[in-house]
Structure 1
Amino acid sequence: MNKAITDGLVLMPPAFTAGLDVWSSEDGTPGSATYDGAGNAALVTADQDFGGCLELAKTDSTQKLRYMGQTPILPGCYLQVTARVKAISGNLPDVRIAAWAGDGSENEVTGLVDTGPSTTLTAYGEVVEVTAIIGSGARGGVDMPWGTEPVYAHIGLDMTGANGGVVRVDDLIIEDVTSFFLRDMIDWIDVVDFGAVGDGTTDDSAAFEAADAAAVAAGVSLLVPEGSYRLNSNVTLEAAVRFVGTVSMPGGNRLTLQQNYDLPTYIDAFGDELEGFRRAVAVLFNSSSHESLDMKGRRIEINEPIDVHAMAGVDNFNTRRLIRNGLILAESSNNWDPDVVTSQATYSTSQNTTLTNVTNVANIAVGSLVEGLGVGREVYVKEKNVGAGTITLSAPLFDAVGTQTYTFTRFKYLLDFSGFDYLGRFVLDNVELHGRKEASCILLPPSGLIFHVRDCFFTEPKHRGITSHGRGCQGMLIDRCQFLSGEQTIPAQDRISICFNVNANDVKVRDNRAARPGQFGIMGGTGHIISGNHFFQGDDESDGIRLAGLVLTKPNCKTTIVGNYIDNCSIDWTNEHDSDPEHNAELSFGALKIVGNIFFATDVASSFRFLIVRPVGPNHYIHGLTVTGNSFKVIDSTIERVEKMDTTYAELDWGRARNIQFDSNTFNGIGQYTASPITLEFNENSPSSTWVCSFAEWMPFGSWARNVVGLTTENRIQNSSGGTVWDMPYAQVEKGTESNEVHLHWSEASQGRVQLTVRMDNQR
């Protein structure tokens, strides 16, 4: 850097032969005495060493010489002042560079070092050069560090020592020597200095690597200046790097930034948001030096799905990797339109996750939603074999044996992981996936373990938030996420969006919030924990229709639903992903705990229920259900009861019910309280030997009165004569046409009041 060249600054004072009226014998400030006509100063026009010069006799203890022009002093600019002098006669003085510093108001800035090193003249006729450097910073080699307050200087020299000597002074030289300090000031190495061309064609890989090695050795940064730099091989930069220019690479090569591994730097490097993201993700999966990609709050807008597998370039990956802190936003584009294929195929329970003889199989995309008769919710194409004409399904079909026409719909996702064979321990943290009602958000890999989504926003997905089309959801964690539907103004029954689905086991869904989606979650597999979520699916319709918020598709689901706010939607429990839905030698509906939840609905149809059991095959029963400590509340309407059995396909066998706890719940706006065990009061006002005690509406799901676990008489039981009946009755359970009555048989006709406690199940 040279300000005299780059900014046109005039630094050099005029030659002495131009006149001494601009040379002061004081500080150089306006009005100070000059050497013009002074008795101790004369111009010499032809000195053998200097040519034209000033001859000066020393008459003061500090003989000053100052240029009266204002030499600019700029922050970051360093000036070297040089004077060549020689003694002619008399006493030999000491000589030094000196200057007066002025601020923007033309006042002196005091308290500064205003002189340079002093040199003693030791011989007559010997030319001696004295120098000093003036600048803002206290750097090594700077003699007069002035900071940023001075804006100009009157520069010259001093002679000190004994008076009586005569010296000659050559014209002063003032030079910008900022370049001396560039390495210290800028702290970088330029790739161009190591041969990088930046013409977009020449391979600059070697130059980048050489410059990087020098930067690492010097402990400084790397600069990629303006230009387009082609890198034809993998390049790893160990030093911190700043991109002013951009780079380009073949698709299979990687630029690894060891010190600046973050999305903004990759965007700067490649000059494009999406390309920068692609290149950064490629490094994430192919470098052991980085476990996370920080988007640093950057937003990338895309008009087509991001194929993460294609960016990664690996088929199997099981090392923790994380993308965090950013926004991925869908732009309006036809590339988001679903691919829809209708095709005929054959299904058999002997291969219960396979469709055979699939016509047009080549055009059916992996990851497509499968719809047809006997197909449960959220069944997808896991893989296909074009040569064999087969499709592998994510789950079995419950009533589709034979040949029929299916519809295959492939949604488009912002992040598509379906190309991996296996992906484990991948994390999205604090990322917003904004579908803009154009795109779905995430398609999981077909196989994997512990895919973790935390503190993310799924905003306006068109169809799906998170889709599992295989078993890449095994052990998945969804924590503290927001699912913000783009269908919030649409009646609940017309919405199509689903926040997530699950096919595999051991999924944790915790502390999330979902605003008016079509459905919150469709969960196959077992071993799930759903806790602390608030999912609400209501609308502004009067007597509104409500859909399932959470669907469990495994009968023995081994699942806990605890501490959730289940708002204007239901829990549905089915076995719709069972190719042999009739109960055989298997576990039936059981291992479900629904504890401590808030169930709430507003202005809903009276037929609405919060808990629905829907077997799709006969002979099933419940053998392990806990529904306790929940709050059921409806406002602006009343529903008949909180639970029901959906008999569209089959009924449950209540004669086999066992280990059911349905109590300690609260009910508001509910027509019929239900519980098991339940205690009811029965009054017999006329003597009878058989008391019929009906639990018809009180048994959950309209089940049977199977066991009497408590009987207490209140006050006196009387016979027909008014005498006291001292003996106890015996009870018969499962009486009446619906098996929901208990008959109490007395030894004689009796009347009075009893408290009777009954269960709908056997406890073991």
Structure 2
Amino acid sequence: MNKAITDGIVLMPLPFAAGLGVWSSGDGTPGSDTYALSGNGVFVAADQDFGGCLEINKTSGTTRVRYMGETPILPGCYLRVTARFKAVAGPLPNVRIAAFAGDNSGDPVGGLDLTAPSTSLTTYGEIVEVSAIVGTGDRNGVDLVWQGAAYGHFGIDLTGPNGGLVRLDDLVIEDITSAFQRDMLSLVDVRDYGAIGDGSADDSAAFEAADAAAQGRTVLVSKGVYKLEDSVTLSSRVKFEGTVVQSANHRFILQKDFNYATYVDAFGDEETAFKKAYQALLNFSDHESLDLCGRRITLSEPLDMQAADPSRTVFATRRVIRNGQFQPEPGSAWNTDSVTSQATYSASNPNQLTNVIDVANVVVGARVSGTGVGREIYVRATNVGQKTVTLSQPLYDAVGTQTYTFRRYKYLLDFSGYDDLAQFVIDDVEFQCNGHASGILLAPQGLTFHLRDCFVTKPKNRGLTSIGTGCQGMMIDRCNFASNEQPLPVQDRTTIGFNANANDVKIRDNRVALFKHFCVLGGTGTLISGNHWFHGDNEDNGVRKGGIIITTPNCKSIITGNYCDNNFIEWTNEHSAEPALGAQFSFGGLTITGNIFTTNDVADWFNFIVIKPYGPNHFIHGFSVVSNVFRSINGFIDKVEHVDTSLADLDYGRMRGVTFAANTFHSVRDEVYNPAILSHDESTPTRTWVAENAPYLPFGGRARFVDSVMADGPLKDSSDATVYEMPYVNTDYGPDQSEVRFVFKTAVEGRIRYQVRMDNPL
């Protein structure tokens, strides 16, 4: 590059032969004395070495010669100023290149070097050449680094003893930028635009200037450490040989090379690079996703995602992190923090603890445990001034004052610092927790968080945790959750794949292995389809835990097309501050259809579907179990369904809308149906027939209604004559109300077929 050619800029001063009125004996600025009027310099027209030249009589401590024309100083341009001297008579002085630096207003620019190193004249008549390189970049070989200067008045100084007579050839100024830029057609070096790269000076403006000058070329960040004390956006492609340092309060946005690999090149450190790339992702509309380029990011501590961009506590525009891996570096930063504190709970304020002792020590995101506290209750917020803790869900039996334990797990990605985070997607990322860290902690509030095609491998405590409603509309698709507790028997495990508190969660096509629970779901409108979750072990007559825990009684959810392997579906109301049935809805709105349930080597009391009421008077209103396959391997089980009455039982007289139909049972002793089509035989004529229905009706339900009765073959009286009559029925008969009493007008024998229900008709 040569600015004199490419931009038509005139760099060369006028020759002395053109007149001495443009050559100043001062600093070269307008109004300074010129050699046209000075007796200290004359033009020599025919010097044998120089031709036309300026002869100067040194009469002061520093005798100056400055060209009064303004030579422009352009970013990225390097000039070489050359002067040739010879001593004619008198004492021999020192000579050097010197100049005046001015800004766009014509004022002098302070703090710059204005003189180059001196050279001594030692012999009369000997031609001595001195030169200096001037440019905006602090580069090797640059004598005068001028940042902030717009132009210069260039010339020479004579120093040393007075009285000498020196001749000066015409001054030469030439563009030598090509000597400093390796590939001028493709690279623009930030040093050429004023960057220092010493880790101390602010190079923000230089980066912006280099980017503006690039015009399609690549910006080069040469070796060095460049401190950016302001936000910087580069629209050009960037090549990093040096690194950048920048506080979290400022943004570094790479519009052309927006990917994690480039940020690693820029910042050198994996964690810092990810934080800055994530910050840019939230503040740059041209890219909706951050590509991790298949890289593994090792984290020394939990990554506070909100702190990576402290200017935002709310974000609701779709953004994606994809294609990479996170893993923890083992260390104490991943240790669970545990705090115990006394607090008071009231069912009238169901999501809050009050009068919390040492509330400042309770951390948002901590899991709460104590008497009467259900599973997966978390601290959503704290108020130190009011001594309160806001909970993710109500407590079922904790009214009064007690001591609670707050355990804060450590997550690879921690979004809990946000107030609200919506439409965030993590795609094709592995969370390689390795038993040291948990996976993801969601924000307290937000919509449609999406985890897809990800691996959550060996989390220490939890795969994904919701501490509030940040899971509203959450989608988890095609992910693999693998426990860190796989060698342990089920009863010794503590880890959980994930939880949700809000509504409209979609869980589809995932594989989950060997946790204590697959998930704990506290909202409504959940769709669970196409998943395979396995939580068994190799122990004979082994204990099994709930795979899916549903904690909302009227859940309005569907479980379809899944493979439930060595665990069961548990349906509770443990997240209710008043678990006894009052004005709220009871258990209902759940459909389980088209699933495969299998287990092996379990005790015969194992069940695949368990309802556990945490308070009395509940019943089932709307529950459909249709077209499933239930299979036990290496032993029989008694039934597939069960009511856990350890805390309360159901009201079997209020059941409604319960359907068990078209299911397949393998190695299950009591196959259940509702309605159940059964038959009953009597071999001796009698007017009253009593049929037991308990083994066939789900949940040990009562024989509430008989929809139909028909004779299956002829009914005979005592004389073996065929009798054409139908009985009336008494339901809820017998000590367990599970029998039906059929009463005929005539004593008969034979077989009847009837349809009986354990629920009430409309």
TM-score by length of 1: 0.75
Give CA deviations for 1:459-504 in whole Å, capped at 9, x if unaligned.
1000001101111111111111110111111101111111110111
Provide closer, same or farther for how the CA distance between residues 571 and 212 of structure 1 changes in structure 2, counting only shifts above 3 A.
Answer: same
Aligned AA (1:555): P
The aligned residue for residue 500 of structure 1 is: 498
Give the CA deviation at 1:585: 1.6
The aligned residue for residue 282 of structure 1 is: 279
The aligned residue for residue 256 of structure 2 is: 259
Provide closer, same or farther for how the CA distance between residues 186 and 300 of structure 1 changes in structure 2, counting only shifts above 3 A.
Answer: farther
Give CA deviations for 1:323-351 in whole Å, capped at 9, x if unaligned.
11110101111111111111111111111
- The answer (yes or no) to whether the contact 2:514–2:536 under 8 Å persists in 1 is yes
Give the CA deviation at 1:251: 2.8
Give CA deviations for 1:622-661 in whole Å, capped at 9, x if unaligned.
0100000000011012211100001011111111111111
Which of 295, 298, 306 is the aligned partner of 2:295? 298
The aligned residue for residue 749 of structure 2 is: 751
Provide closer, same or farther for how the CA distance between residues 747 and 518 of structure 1 changes in structure 2, counting only shifts above 3 A.
Answer: same
Give the CA deviation at 1:593: 0.2
Provide closer, same or farther for how the CA distance between residues 668 and 181 of structure 1 changes in structure 2, counting only shifts above 3 A.
Answer: same
The aligned residue for residue 188 of structure 2 is: 189
Which of 561, 581, 584 is the aligned partner of 1:583? 581
Give the CA deviation at 1:290: 2.1
Give the CA deviation at 1:182: 7.8
Does the alignment pair 1:659 with 2:657? Answer: yes
SS at match of 2:307: helix
Which of 317, 330, 333 is the aligned partner of 2:331? 333
For residues 425 and 687 of structure 2, the distance between their equivalents in structure 1, rounded to whole angstroms, comes to 70
SS at match of 2:322: strand
Give CA deviations for 1:508-546 in whole Å, capped at 9, x if unaligned.
001111011111010001011010010100111111110
Which of 465, 468, 475 is the aligned partner of 2:466? 468
For residues 250 and 180 of structure 1, the distance between their equivalents in structure 2, rounded to whole angstroms, comes to 35
The aligned residue for residue 233 of structure 1 is: 230
The aligned residue for residue 762 of structure 1 is: 760
Aligned AA (1:719): D
Give CA deviations for 1:711-736 in whole Å, capped at 9, x if unaligned.
22122101122121111111111111
For residues 247 and 373 of structure 2, the distance between their equivalents in structure 1, rounded to whole angstroms, comes to 45
SS at match of 2:690: strand
Which of 738, 755, 759 is the aligned partner of 2:736? 738
SS at match of 1:280: helix
Aligned AA (1:557): C
Provide closer, same or farther for how the CA distance between residues 758 and 222 of structure 1 changes in structure 2, counting only shifts above 3 A.
Answer: same
SS at match of 2:712: strand
SS at match of 2:761: coil
For residues 193 and 233 of structure 1, the distance between their equivalents in structure 2, rounded to whole angstroms, comes to 19
For residues 365 and 639 of structure 1, the distance between their equivalents in structure 2, rounded to whole angstroms, comes to 45
For residues 726 and 220 of structure 1, the distance between their equivalents in structure 2, rounded to whole angstroms, comes to 100
> 329-338 vs 197-206, which deviates more?
197-206
- The answer (yes or no) to whether the contact 2:710–2:726 under 8 Å persists in 1 is no
> 245-254 vs 504-513, which deviates more?
245-254
Aligned AA (2:286): S
SS at match of 2:444: coil
For residues 415 and 363 of structure 1, the distance between their equivalents in structure 2, rounded to whole angstroms, comes to 22
For residues 380 and 192 of structure 1, the distance between their equivalents in structure 2, rounded to whole angstroms, comes to 52
For residues 714 and 635 of structure 2, the distance between their equivalents in structure 1, rounded to whole angstroms, comes to 42
For residues 534 and 305 of structure 1, the distance between their equivalents in structure 2, rounded to whole angstroms, comes to 30
Provide closer, same or farther for how the CA distance between residues 692 and 288 of structure 1 changes in structure 2, counting only shifts above 3 A.
Answer: same
SS at match of 2:323: strand
The aligned residue for residue 550 of structure 1 is: 548
Which of 685, 705, 708 is the aligned partner of 2:706? 708
SS at match of 2:622: strand
SS at match of 1:351: coil
In the alignment, structure 1 segments of 5+ residues that lack a partner are 2-176
Cα RMSD for the two superposed structures: 1.7
For residues 321 and 429 of structure 2, the distance between their equivalents in structure 1, rounded to whole angstroms, comes to 8
Give CA deviations for 1:188-233 in whole Å, capped at 9, x if unaligned.
21112222221211221111111111112xx211111111111111
The aligned residue for residue 453 of structure 1 is: 451
Which of 346, 358, 364 is the aligned partner of 1:366? 364
For residues 603 and 462 of structure 2, the distance between their equivalents in structure 1, rounded to whole angstroms, comes to 27
SS at match of 2:696: coil
For residues 382 and 417 of structure 2, the distance between their equivalents in structure 1, rounded to whole angstroms, comes to 13
Give the CA deviation at 1:186: 6.1
For residues 230 and 650 of structure 1, the distance between their equivalents in structure 2, rounded to whole angstroms, comes to 66
The aligned residue for residue 210 of structure 1 is: 209
Please give the residue correspondences for 1:167-186 in structure 2 after superposition, counting only pairs within 5 Å: none
The aligned residue for residue 157 of structure 1 is: none
For residues 333 and 553 of structure 1, the distance between their equivalents in structure 2, rounded to whole angstroms, comes to 35
SS at match of 1:344: strand
Aligned AA (1:564): N
Give CA deviations for 1:263-289 in whole Å, capped at 9, x if unaligned.
010010001111100111111122223
Give the CA deviation at 1:703: 0.4
Give CA deviations for 1:122-163 in whole Å, capped at 9, x if unaligned.
xxxxxxxxxxxxxxxxxxxxxxxxxxxxxxxxxxxxxxxxxx
Aligned AA (1:212): D
Aligned AA (1:211): A
For residues 545 and 706 of structure 1, the distance between their equivalents in structure 2, rounded to whole angstroms, comes to 34
Please give the residue correspondences for 1:560-639 in structure 2 after superposition, counting only pairs within 5 Å: 560-639=558-637
For residues 608 and 435 of structure 1, the distance between their equivalents in structure 2, rounded to whole angstroms, comes to 32
Identical counterparts, % of pairs: 52
For residues 584 and 548 of structure 1, the distance between their equivalents in structure 2, rounded to whole angstroms, comes to 27
Q: How many residues align?
A: 587
Does the alignment pair 1:269 with 2:293? Answer: no
For residues 559 and 594 of structure 1, the distance between their equivalents in structure 2, rounded to whole angstroms, comes to 9
- The answer (yes or no) to whether the contact 1:379–1:395 under 8 Å persists in 2 is yes
- The answer (yes or no) to whether the contact 2:553–2:572 under 8 Å persists in 1 is yes
For residues 722 and 539 of structure 2, the distance between their equivalents in structure 1, rounded to whole angstroms, comes to 59
For residues 763 and 183 of structure 1, the distance between their equivalents in structure 2, rounded to whole angstroms, comes to 87
For residues 278 and 558 of structure 1, the distance between their equivalents in structure 2, rounded to whole angstroms, comes to 40
Which of 503, 512, 515 is the aligned partner of 1:514? 512
Give the CA deviation at 1:261: 0.8
Provide closer, same or farther for how the CA distance between residues 552 and 185 of structure 1 changes in structure 2, counting only shifts above 3 A.
Answer: same
Give CA deviations for 1:364-420 in whole Å, capped at 9, x if unaligned.
111111111111111111111112111111111111111111111111110111110
- The answer (yes or no) to whether the contact 1:286–1:312 under 8 Å persists in 2 is no
SS at match of 1:309: coil
Please give the residue correspondences for 1:712-727 in structure 2 after superposition, counting only pairs within 5 Å: 712-727=710-725
For residues 535 and 426 of structure 1, the distance between their equivalents in structure 2, rounded to whole angstroms, comes to 25
SS at match of 1:345: strand
- The answer (yes or no) to whether the contact 2:504–2:524 under 8 Å persists in 1 is yes
> 355-364 vs 562-571, which deviates more?
355-364
- The answer (yes or no) to whether the contact 1:543–1:637 under 8 Å persists in 2 is no
- The answer (yes or no) to whether the contact 2:548–2:568 under 8 Å persists in 1 is yes
The aligned residue for residue 475 of structure 2 is: 477
- The answer (yes or no) to whether the contact 2:248–2:309 under 8 Å persists in 1 is no
SS at match of 1:279: helix
- The answer (yes or no) to whether the contact 2:181–2:188 under 8 Å persists in 1 is no
SS at match of 1:277: helix
Give the CA deviation at 1:250: 2.5
In the alignment, structure 2 segments of 5+ residues that lack a partner are 2-175
- The answer (yes or no) to whether the contact 1:298–1:327 under 8 Å persists in 2 is yes
Does the alignment pair 1:221 with 2:221? Answer: no
For residues 735 and 274 of structure 2, the distance between their equivalents in structure 1, rounded to whole angstroms, comes to 68
- The answer (yes or no) to whether the contact 1:689–1:746 under 8 Å persists in 2 is yes
The aligned residue for residue 436 of structure 2 is: 438
Give the CA deviation at 1:179: 6.4
For residues 524 and 297 of structure 2, the distance between their equivalents in structure 1, rounded to whole angstroms, comes to 37
Aligned AA (1:399): D
Aligned AA (1:532): G
Aligned AA (1:744): F
Give the CA deviation at 1:178: 14
